[in-house]
Structure formats: structure tokens, C-alpha cells
Amino acid sequence: MIDLEVPRKFVPLVRQAAGLADQVFRPISRKYDLAEHEYPRELDLMSAVIDGLSDSGASQGAGARTTSGGSAEPAGVGAGSRAAKSKGGNVNGSNLSSVLSIMQTCRGDVGLTLSLPRQGLGNAAIAAIASDEQKARYGNKWAAMAITEPDTGSDSGAIRTTAVQDGDHYVLNGEKIFVTSGERAELVVVWATLDRSLGKRAIKSFVVRRDNPGLKLQRLEHKLGIRASDTAAFTLVDCRVPAEDLLGDPEIRIEGGFGGAMQTFDNTRPLVAAMAVGLARASLDLATELLGRAGVTAEPSAPAHTQPYAAARLLQLEADYEAAYLLTLRAAWMADNGRPNSMQASMAKAKAGRTCVEIALTCVHLCGATGYAETELLEKWARDAKILDIFEGTQQIQLLVVARRLLELSSAELK
Amino acid sequence: MSHLHSRPSLADRGQSLGMRLITRAGGLEAMKNPALRARVEKVLYRGARQGFRAQVAAGRMFSAKPGSGAPTRSKPATPRHEFDLTPTDDQQMIRDAARELAEEVLRPAAARADAERHLPDEVRRQAAQMGMALLGVPAELGGVAEESSAVTSVLVLEELARGDMGLAVAVMSSAAVANCLVDYGDSGQQATYLGAFTDEHDPARGALALLEPQPLFDPARPQTRARRDGEQLILDGTKSLVPGAAAADLFIVSALVDGEARLVMVPPATDGLTVSDDPAMGLRAAHTGAVHLQGVRVPAANLLGTAADHADAVARARLAWAAAAVGTSQAVLDQVTSYTKERKAFGEPIAHRQAVAFTIADIAIELDGLRLVVWRAAALLDRGLDATPQIAHARSLVERHCAQIGSDGVQLLGGHGFVKEFDNERWYRDLRGAGLMEGVLLV
């Protein structure tokens, strides 16, 4: 039965996440925007609440948790198919609850959401492809994700970091940049290739302990936005990793070898889309309030072209917001129900990414000096927004994924 | 019938959908069995048709009939409080039937119907036979609906407009009149008018005429006025782009009455009412006309519903147009997806170029976003909840993105899109209209 409202069973969890956003994140939002690289200690104080939220299954933070509801149930694609089926065979599971709670925490602050301990994108990768034994071993640790290299961004199949087997260890060498929470996390999931001549299928994920002496922190980036979140650059110099810390299948398969690593994106793209939706909501709420005080209120039932420009624009932005919001819920719902969702995840990410940038920038513009000045958070959200149309696959990469699926074209045909 | 918790009997199914729909949908081969068919037919007639015998009168004169007590309305749907994008089995069956009608009947007839501005009798007959106009009418009133059916309506409109928007409008505009009577009419109005619209063989034709010619038209403030004169209303004004105006049996127009926008039933034969031709850029198969009202007198009893009901009709019409825009946009997507893989330039299919492929990806993304907003709004309506924001959002998306989809649908074919060799130029014209029309369709 078609119904696109927040499921009743998730309402308390969404409310809790909203409380976190309003009571914890918002008051310190500007502080850590200005104090880049400073660790937000308030989050430690709130860790009990956050863990409570996570263990209830409501929040997957920035990544899918390796456990939900206290059981060792991965929150990955297909997790929902193992969840208890409701009467009609419809599942509302951890993917949906994750995007719903992230929308709330990111309405509070995206950078702080990314800084929530033990909620890293690396955790999502572990959830997606680790063996049960590995999941048990890493379950409670905070894991960052290291894919990008100085010369390799969107073409993650072309990474140069190498992994060479040496007895019961692999030896990793290379350079990784743009590692979110790289300084603070306990584990870093590193993508490296077993054999560069074999292309994508030789790429494997390795779990590297942050205190591994071969993993050297080079610097933290200074950024346009999400400054509360640390973004690290590492070098890996003869970094020895135990063989059991290779995630998933150690063999190089002709078919589907890269799929395991890429499958992570089916999980994480709806999460990033949810971040964008949350940020867009924050911008729209504040701009609506400020414009209301200035005497302009949008009237949804009246034709847009009979209303003041600012009101008409708000209506348009709300419309695109809602499309992004629902595309995101759909992608998560499909994952919960064990349906392949690569295309829908990319649709959600593409729409939410570009929409949140447009909304945040327009809200700054509509509010004039107040929007642009640091007295309000609108300008900060406009800076934070841009990364959401970039990381976990740029707008252009999402369009490629969507187009290839729609047109049934290979990456050789549609480059 | 509670199809959620118990397996419905064949008779249940027959009653809930209308047997014509079921047989047409091909969902039940068993219905071809004459004995079984007769049994279901009996159930259908006993349950649904009592009290509202079809009346077929020359010139379709509606003789006033007294209603008994409270009017019959659709029952709100019972929510399960779960996020779900799966239609019910009944909805899926009706949707499949609508798709079949769209593919086999509407699409093949579309180009000619557009050129001739005519709904072919055969198309009208087939649509009536499948009960497409009865989807919003409860079984007690001679229709096929078990409960509020906005979701069913948007699914059906989507499919029909995927076949052709102009024909979908021509076929479904009379259903809007029936729905208005169900949703807003008192029992007397239902008794007097509804029977003709639910007639199986020759259902009455009508139009919900809200739109007016002036730029910046706001349905909440129509220039059409109705003055009270004793027990009568005197109407003055003009309604634009009214489908099938020349052949209508009943108009429901909006007019300002005592300072509020209201719905008023006006028979076409009333003195002072004239119809002129009003062709437009698109929706040409719907043969749009303008309805001129000059000192038109109708009984005050012809007021239909309240001011809130008028606002409800405006909102439900906008949602219906958004659903139609989803369907036609899907037709564009289907066509450009296959065309760009076949059409070659510079030695390879043009789909291999990002400029082309990304345009198609954008069509799909905006289309799916709109579809979900439309579904959400419809599901809210069926639960009796406010869907004002979602309907406004759907309309905004239609205004901007569907016009763009229509444009891209021509652009991707280049000159071939501009000539009538393909359907794309018609979709371009129709999609521009979906975001500005008011009234006419109703979920």
C-alpha cells in the first residue's frame, strides 16, 4: 500500500535525532566552523546519547553501523531482507532509519555529524563487505575511508596504492587524501591494488589500524566548509597489515572483483543524499523564518507567479527539496527490501547534491546581507553544501551511473 | 472486503473492481467461464446498481430527484504506517488495465486525434467499457471504488497520459464531474446527476471548468461571478480550455458567490450560456472550448459543496495534472532512451555522448522525483490528511521540470523531433499545458 510518510515506528527515533541536532549541534555549529581542526569535545559528552540513538537503530551516523539493535546485523544492502518481514512483505529497516536520522542530525550540522565517533564511512564499507568474523572484530571501532589519491578522484578504479603479500601480511605503499575523520578514527579502510595491470578487479579494501607505524598522517586540509570534520592526508610507507584485515575475498576474480568495493556506494550514497536533504531543510527553515519576519510568506495554494519573487522562489526550492527527500527515502527503502538500488541511489545523490547547493546558495541570496554575514548560519550552510555534491561520487559520476543503467551502456560505451 | 487480511473471494474482487476491468486486465482467465461470469455479474448488479438505474434520456435532461438522507462519500483508506511504494493488488490490476488501454488504444489513435481535435468514438467506447470514469465513484453509487482512490486515480492517469495526454483528458474529464458529485454533492444532487455519469453504455459527458482567460488567473479569485436573486443564481463570466465543451451534458463551473469561490452546476442548455471553440497549443484531442456565461440563471440548489470543497477540487485537479505530466514525461523518457541508442552521429550512437546521456539521466531523475511527490500527495488525500504542500510541490515541479522534459524530448531528436514524424513535438505541446491547467481532471 503506497505510503510515503515516516513510518510510525521510527517517529521517536527521528525526534531524538532532531533533539540532538537542535540541542547539541546547533549551539556549537559556528564555534567549530571557526575553530577548524579542533576536536568537538562536546560530542564526547554526548556519546552516551549518541550511542543510545545508534543502538536503537535510529542513527547510523555518517555511515551504516556494523551493528544495529544490538545484534551483529550489518546495515548493508540486503540487510533488510534478513529483517523480520511485515505482514505485507514490506520492510522498513536500518537503511531507512539511517537516512531519516541523518537528515535530522545534518539539519543540525553536517560537519559535526561526520565527526560522530564510530559512525564513519569506513564503518559502512565494513558493513557492506566484511566477513562475519571481521565484523565482530571491528564492530565497535570508528573507521574512516581512504580511497582518493592525489591523481585519482572519481576514477577510483585507477588507484596506485599497492598491496604486496609478504607471508601472512600485506605491505601497503602509496598516498591517500581526503580521508574524512582520518585523524580521529581508530581504523582506516584503505583501498589498494594487488596488481595494477589487472585494473579494477585487483582492488581490495584493507583495514589499517590508525596507530600502524606505516600509516603516517601528513596534514589536515583547510576547507570551504564542513570544518568541524577533519580531513586527513596520509602516506603509507611499507605499511604492514595482517592478512586477515583484507576485507572480503582475497582472490582476484575476473567477474565482480571490484563490485564488492563498489557495493559500498549503494549503501553510502543514500546517506550522503540524506545529509544534503538535512542541510537543505536547515537553510529553508531559517530563510523562511527570516523572510517571514521581513513580511514575505509563501502561499502554497496560490499560483507562484502571483506571489512576490522571494515567496515564489521558496515554493520552488521546497518542491525540489521534497523530490530530493523522497528519492532518498526510496533508495534506502529499496536497500531495506533487498532490491538492487544502484541507479536509485545515484538518482538520490544527484538530485539531493545539486538541490542542496541551489537551496543553500539561494537562501543566502534571498536574505541579503543577513544571509551572507556570519551572524546567521546560512552562509556556513552554503559553504558546507558544496561537498555534498562532490564526495561519495560527484554530480557527474552520479549522472554517469544513472545514464549507463538507463541506457544499458557499458563504461567503455558511455565514458 | 478486507483484502489486506483475508483472501478475497472472486465475487469480492468482481465487486471492487468492476467485472469489465478484471476481464480486460486479463488477471483472471477464469472470468471467461460463462457460469462464473454470470455469478459475478449477479453480485455486481445486486450490490452496486440498486437505486441508481441508468437513465438515458434524449438530450440528457436531468430531472430532479429527491435524495435520501446523507450523501454517500468514499471512505478514507486505512493506513499501515509503513513507508511503502508498492501498490495494492487491486491498484496494480487497474493500473495494468489502464496501461493496456493506453498502449493498444490511446497511443495508436493519438496523432490523428491531435490533428483532428477529436476523441474517436471507438476510444471513448473502450475507455467507458473498462470503467475508467468510475474509479472514484463508490460501488453504492454505481462506481467501482471501495474506498478513497486518489492513489488509484494518479496511477491510472499516469498510465493513460503515457499513452496520450490529450486523449487521457478527453476520456477522463467526465470522471472529474462524477468525482465532484461523489465528493461534494448532497444526496439529491447525487441522485439527480450521478446515474447518468455511471451509465455503462453511454455515460454522460461533462467538464469541471475552472480556468479563465486572464493572465495571473488565481482559481481562488475567479472573475466569474454569481449574484443571488431569490432562489436563483445569475452567473456572468468566461471559462477557458474546457474539454469537450461543445458536446457536454453538464458543466461544473467555479464562480465567486458572496465573496467566496464556489462550484456551480450549469446545464449547457441554459439561456445565456454559449460555447465557442478554444483550440490551444496542446491537449488538442480534448477539443477544448470556451464557455461564456451571460446572465445565466440556475437554481441556488445547483451550488455544489462548500468554499472548502472548491479549494479541494482545485488541489485535486492540480494533482491529477501532475499525474498526467508524470505519464507523458515517462513517454518521453521511453522514447529518447531507445532513439538515442539507435541514432548514430560521428560513427557511434549519440547515447554514447555525455551531453546526450546526461540529459536523459536528468529527465529520469526529475521524473522519478515528481512521481514520488505525486504518490505521496495522493496517499495523504486517501487518508483524509492535508496534502496542500505536496500538491503545491508537484505543481511547481511540473511547471519547471516537465516543460524542460518536453523540450529535451524534442531537442534530443533534433529536426526529427520538430516534425510530426515522431510524437515528441506533441509531448512538448502537451507538457507545457500540464503545469498551467486548472480543473478538468480530478483525483
DSSP state string for A151-206? TBSS-GGG---EEEEETTEEEEEEEEEEEETTTT-SEEEEEEES-GGGGGGGEEEE
How far apart are alpha carbons A125 and A135 in whole angstroms?
10
pLDDT at A62 over 50: no
CA of B354: which chain A residue's CA is closest? A414
Kindly state the cell numbers that stand for B289.
Answer: 472550448
In our burial notation (b when 16+ CB lie closer than 10 A, e otherwise), range B376-402 reads bbbbbbbbeeebebbbbbbbbbbbbbb
Which residues of chain A lie closer than 8 angstroms to B341, CB-CB? 407, 409
- Residue A65 confidence class, pLDDT cut points 50, 70, 90: very low
Most confidently modeled of A291-305, B29-43, B126-140?
A291-305
Is pLDDT of A406 > 60? Answer: yes
CA atoms within 13 A on the CB side of A169: 9
pLDDT for position B59? 42
Q: Which residues does chain B have within 8 Å of residue A318's beta carbon, measured at their own beta carbons? A: 389, 392-393, 396
pLDDT at position B33 over 60: no
Cell numbers for A5:
510518510
pLDDT at A139: 77
Minimum-distance CB partner of A347 among B354, B364, B388: B364
Stretch B312-321: mean pLDDT = 98
Select the more confidently predicted residue: B4 or A129. Answer: A129
Q: How confident is the model at residue B237 (pLDDT cuts 50, 70, 90)?
A: very high
Per-residue model confidence (pLDDT) at position B277: 97
Q: Cell digits for B16?
A: 471492487
Q: Quickly state the pLDDT bin for A273 (edges 50, 70, 90).
A: very high
**For residue A50, is pLDDT > 60?**
yes
B436 has a pLDDT exceeding 80 = yes
8 Å CB contact between A10 and A68: no
Q: Residue A67 above 60 pLDDT?
A: no
Contact A264, A129 (CB under 8 A): yes
Query: Is residue B134 within 8 Å of residue B144, measured between CB atoms?
Result: yes
Q: How many CB pairs below 8 A link A and B?
A: 177
Enter the pTM of the model: 0.90
pLDDT score of B108: 97
Question: What local confidence, expressed as pLDDT, does residue B53 receive?
Answer: 31
Mean pLDDT value across residues A77-91:
53
pLDDT on residue A255: 59
Decide if pLDDT at B6 tops 50.
Answer: no
On the question of pLDDT at B8 being above 60, the answer is: no
pLDDT number for residue A53: 62
Cell of B44: 455486481
Q: Express as a percent the part of chain B with pLDDT over 90.
A: 74
Q: For the residues A149-165, what does the mean pLDDT come to? A: 91
Q: Quick one: pLDDT at residue A261? A: 64
* 340-399 of A, contacting B, C-beta below 8 A: 344, 347, 350-351, 396, 399
- What is the average pLDDT across A21-38? 95
Q: Can you give the pLDDT at residue B257?
A: 98
How would residue B60 be classed by pLDDT, with cut points 50, 70 and 90? low
pLDDT value for A93: 94
pLDDT at B55 over 60: no
Task: Closest CB to B372: pick one of A318, A326, A409.
Answer: A326
Q: What's the mean pLDDT when you consider all of chain B?
A: 88
Does pLDDT of A129 surpass 90?
A: no
- For helices A378-388 and A26-34, the axis angle rounded to 10 degrees is 80
Could you say which DSSP state residue A104 is in?
H
Q: Is B151 within 8 Å of B91 (Cβ atoms)? A: yes
Does residue B25 carry a pLDDT above 90?
Answer: no
* % of chain B residues with pLDDT over 70: 86
User: How far apart (Å, rounded) are the C-alpha atoms in residues A9 and A131?
Assistant: 30
Per-residue model confidence (pLDDT) at position B258 = 96
Residue carrying the nine cell digits 549507463? A404
- Give mean pLDDT, residues A51-72: 42
d(CA B4, CA A411): 44
Model pLDDT for residues B287-316, shown as the tens digit of each residue: 999 999 999 999 999 999 999 999 999 999
Nearest CA distance, A337 vs chain B (angstrom):
10
Look at residue A81 and tell me whether its pLDDT is greater than 70: no
Averaged pLDDT for residues A34-59 = 71
Q: So what's the pLDDT on residue A88?
A: 61
pLDDT band at A382 (very low <50, low <70, confident <90, very high): very high
For A321, B172, B178, B388, the CA distances from B183, given in Å and listed in that order, are 31, 16, 9, 17
Q: What is the mean pLDDT of residues B228-257?
A: 97
Q: How much is the pLDDT for A70?
A: 30
> pLDDT confidence of B9, banded at 50, 70, 90?
very low
Q: What is the ipTM of this complex?
A: 0.91
- End-to-end, the C-alpha distance of chain B in Å comes to 23
Residues 66-125 of A with CB under 8 A from B: 86-88, 90, 92, 96
**Residue position matching grid coordinates 486479463:** B26
State residue B393's pLDDT score: 98
Cα-Cα-Cα-Cα dihedral of B263, B267, B268, B269, to 10°?
-150
Instruction: Give me the mean pLDDT over the B58-63 stretch.
Output: 63
Cβ–Cβ of B362/A300 closer than 8 Å?
no
The mean of the pLDDT values for chain A is 88
The string of pLDDT tens digits covering residues B364-417 is 999 999 999 999 999 999 999 999 999 999 999 999 999 999 999 999 999 999
Looking at residue B201, what is its pLDDT?
Answer: 76
State what percent of residues in chain A have pLDDT above 70: 87
A302, A304, A333: residue with CB nearest B85: A333
Verify whether the Cβ–Cβ distance B86 to A402 is below 8 Å.
no
Measured between CB atoms, which of A4, A305, A347 is closest to B379? A4
* Whether residue A348 has pLDDT greater than 80: yes
User: Is pLDDT above 80 for B210?
Assistant: yes
Mutate to test the interface with B, among A1, A281, A333 (most CBs of B within 10 A): A1
- Give the residue, A247 or B133, on which the prediction is more confident: A247
Task: Indicate whether B230 pLDDT > 50.
Answer: yes
